[in-house]
Structure 1
Amino acid sequence: MAELIALRPGTRRIPPQTGADLPFCRQLARLAVRSLYAELVLYPKPGLVSLVDNGSHEDMNAATFMRSMFALRRYFFEIARAGMEDAPFHVLKRLGIAAEARMMRATGGINTHRGAIFCLGLLCAAIGRCRAKGTPLRAAAIQATLLIQWGRELGAHSGEADTLSHGLEARLRYAASGAREEGARGFPSVFAVGLPALRRTLAAGGGLRRARVDALFALMAHMSDTNVYHRGGLEGAQTVQREARAFIARGGTAAPDWEARALACHHSFVAARLSPGGAADLLGAVCLLQSVCGGMD
């Protein structure tokens, strides 16, 4: 945990920075990449790519995700620095578009981390802004900073339709929410659902692996995932939420047979070609916040 000491201010106020704190930005970028790696290596993880198998995907595997992660290292540093320097939203958006292009080049045109680029990038910007203002790095402060600094632009951005992506197509057809809608509201699924679920399991002594599984299932049970709607339509979305809620109702990873039930859910999702990629992206954001904030609200 030594790498988090400089990031975690506790209740002590950090003196505001006069310029970009480049070591902090580099450290935060490393934590963002590690958070994406933590999501990748988690298993069982219903329908999603891991080191064990490709889940419901035929066009990507763990190596694809690794190439994407390496391509994004510079982006997280740049957007943390931009947030620290109080950059306007159009600058953050430009950085995200450039990062998405690098991701696509690294993966041969496969979308591995588009949602994560948006979500983790904005969180890095908000964390950088908190650091610059001397605001203690607490989850509530990070969310508030995100909305205060860029909330209006995020609201407008959620209504834009640059290209007809799979996510936009699902939103138009099923009125499902996606990453942009989450961002416009300050990522409530991350702060109010995924992060509390992870912290509850940690507080009960469950360890990080179980905590991340519980957080993922909590996100799957709660959110409207355009990735799922794209692959499985309304029936698929209902299946994902029903299976996730059943897992939670049985006690989540606190149940003795949790691993077998999570694995059975994984196999059923693969058979139905369901992949809750939106929940996976937000799990990466939960992991980042936990790394930065620890157990502080």
Structure 2
Amino acid sequence: MRFLKEIILFVLFLLFISVRGNAQMERQRANVTEPVETFWTPTLISQTTTETLQARNLNSTIMHSFGIATTNAIQNFFGLDNIQNVRLGLDYGITDQWAVGIGRSSRFNVVDIRTKYAIMQQTTDNSKPLSVALKGDLGIITQENRQPFKDDVSILLSAIVSKKFNQTLSLQLSPMYGYYSSVGAGQENHLFSLGVGSRITLSERYSLIAEYYPVIGKRNSDTNNAFSLGLNIQTGGHVFQLFFASTRWHLEQYVIANNREQFWAGDFRFGFNVNRIFGL
């Protein structure tokens, strides 16, 4: 299957890059057991990670995507003149394992309500070798479209499994299911994907990030697997994420349902995310 071959090649490429990091991996003391920070943010680019907020911490996010960079590049200033989608979001840690959030995307005025629960978090002594979390998201189109409320609903359910292999490489897999209450001709109410995410640490302040959304089984017509590649910049209080992506969406259920472009064919757009955590 094409998507399986693409995932295998993607993972092998990341493992090859991490060989040097394996040789320089810091040794952990056997008597110290601490949670491992697999990723720097609760969201990779658009994929949710296993990272959780501590209790009474608030994470504010600004997510911004522009037009296709290669379409009338000079006239449209590499897509920056064409704002495609902006999402403003807040997530709050109720406990160290459970967080809830709300956000609004400018495209279709989608309001999303989400929750994430960490079942297990990887530890430095490897007594827990993986991090596992469950995520649910309810999306509601609030733009006036003359259709009943029940037809404006979408749902995303996912299980997220991640592992930090060494000081350089972190990987995650996210089996996900998207449901759409109302669809048009050539579209599906039920969609499945196996999200793949990665982080390659370059230094204490910089890391490369990538994510891939292969759709499994039936898909919407003219929909391609979404891919994004970005850079994390850690500034202490903020994490800035600069990226190129084929999708304009910041919600996973819409990424797997509405990605028309192909990244490797040059159909990519610039975007950025800003993450700021406040202790309350």
Bigger RCO (CA 8 Å, 6+ sep): 1
The answer, yes or no, to whether TM exceeds 0.5 is no
- Greater strand content: 2
- Greater helix content: 1
Short-chain TM bin: 0.3 to 0.5
**What TM-score do you get using the length of structure 1 for normalisation?**
0.32
